[in-house]
Amino acid sequence: MLVDQVKIFVKAGDGGKGCVAFRREKFVPKGGPSGGDGGNGGDVIIKAVRNLHTLLDLKYQQHYYAPKGGNGLGSDMHGHAGDNIEIKIPMGTTVRNADDSAILADLTKEGQQYIAAKGGRGGKGNAHFKSSRNRAPKFAQPGEPGEEFWFILELKMLADVAIVGYPNAGKSTLISRVSNAKPKIADYPFTTLVPNLGVVPIEEFESFVMADIPGIIEGAHNNKGLGLQFLKHIERSKLLLHILDLSASNNRNICKDFETINHEIYSYSVDLIEKPQVIAANKIDIPGAVDKLKKHEQYFKKKGLQVYPVSAVTGEGIKTLLYKIKEELKVFS
């Protein structure tokens, strides 16, 4: 189950109290103050890890508390520091302030971390306050409270290639053929309800990550259909693989489909205009598909675009398509 947005509360540990104590030793008639300092409270750290692909765990555990620092003790003994706690998240997760949605961190690399809340400092014991005028201070500092915040964590999938296209165009079938992904496949629209990630091997030691983005329809940037819920997952991709459906009914035009999907993507974010696209016309194996593609190929030629005919079911044209994607991705390496 993909959960790509959660709201969590974090509270760092409070600092321990400083201690009020005096030396009581044999043969030391006027022992001075010996109260130790309190320990610092633990931090709350958000850390990106490789093997997570969803925020599901954080949906069910929304509150995180780091341990307090220990109180100071006599004989100048300091309290122990509270342990830090780590909240593990998938790479590609942004951390936002829940109050104003400001982005505080964007964790895209393995091991990258953000200190979400700093633990409070421990209070000083009375040994710190001895002076020539006050040789026996009977007070110590309390520990400082740890920071606490509400955050919104938002996951945007990290994939080299994002597959886009109308519902039922064959995106899931394609990614299941070329990768280890096992998406749900059926003969009706909106079969795919969550993005699917798959690693596509090309040659020995060469591969790229592909994401199947659930079907985009007209009005998606205004939250129609699956809308904004999944358009955001396109943002981090290097390249878009645009799948055209050659089996669409006669009242659907693959050129119009191409323009509609691009309009929705660009309406969501103008930055996506700069992303390169590879276009594949799927279901070339069905009767009449070749003629349908020829009927519209002039449109794409005028735009200087090459369309790769493929069949995700039979595998026809898939190898040529993958090598084209590999070639395009070399620009980013």
Dihedral sign of CA atoms 96, 97, 103, 108 in order: negative
> What is the chain's pLDDT, residue by residue, as a tens digit (333 residues)?
567 889 999 999 999 999 999 988 777 666 789 999 999 999 999 999 988 878 888 999 999 999 999 999 998 999 999 999 999 999 989 999 999 989 999 999 999 999 999 999 999 999 999 988 888 899 999 999 999 999 999 988 778 899 988 888 888 889 888 887 564 444 434 444 466 778 888 877 788 888 887 756 565 445 555 555 667 778 888 999 999 999 877 667 899 999 988 888 888 888 888 889 999 999 999 998 999 999 998 999 998 999 999 999 999 999 999 999 999 998 776
Looking at domain 5-155, its CATH architecture is Distorted Sandwich (2.70)
pLDDT at 223: 55
Q: Which of 278, 283, 276, 291 is nearest to 316 (CA)?
A: 283
pLDDT at 189: 44
| Long-range contacts of 231-234, Cβ-Cβ distance < 8 Å, separation of 24 or more | 231/264, 231/265, 231/268, 231/269, 232/4, 232/154, 232/156, 232/268, 233/4, 233/156, 233/157, 233/159, 233/162, 233/195, 234/162, 234/164, 234/265, 234/268, 234/272, 234/275
What pLDDT, on the 0 to 100 scale, is given for residue 190? Answer: 43
Of the options 3.40.1690.10, 3.40.50.300, 3.30.450.40, 3.40.640.10, the CATH number for the domain spanning 161-332? 3.40.50.300
Whole-number Å distance between alpha carbons of 331 and 237:
13
Q: Report the pLDDT value the prediction gives residue 192, as an integer from 0 to 100.
A: 46
pLDDT confidence of residue 185: 45
Return the residue matching tokens 């971390």: 113
**Amino acid 268: pLDDT:** 83
Res 151: pLDDT: 97
d(CA 288, CA 286): 6
Q: Are the beta carbons of 97 and 111 closer than 8 angstroms?
A: no
Task: Give the domain ranges of the chain.
Answer: 5-155, 161-332
Supply the pLDDT for residue 299: 93
In terms of DSSP bridges, do strands 113-117 and 239-245 run parallel, antiparallel, or are they unpaired? unpaired
